[in-house]
Copies of this chain bind each other. A is one copy, B any other.
Amino acid sequence: MELKVRTRNKNDVVDLTRQIAELVRQADLEQGLCHVYVPHATAAIIVNENDDPQIGQDLLTALDGLIPEGVWLHDKVDENGASHLKATILGPSETVPIRRGRLALGTWQAIMLVDFDGPRDRTAIVTLTRA
Contact = CB atoms under 8 A, between A and B. Distances in A.
Tell me if A's interface is mostly helix, strand, loop or mixed: mixed
Nearest to A105: B39
Contact of A72 (B58, B66, B90, B107): B58
Place the interface of chain A in its size category.
35 or more
A35 interface: yes
A52 B77 contact: yes
Contacts of A41: 47-49, 106, 108-109
Interface of A: 31-33, 35, 37-41, 46-49, 52, 54-55, 57-59, 61-62, 66-67, 72-74, 77-78, 81, 84-85, 87-97, 99, 104-109, 125, 127-131
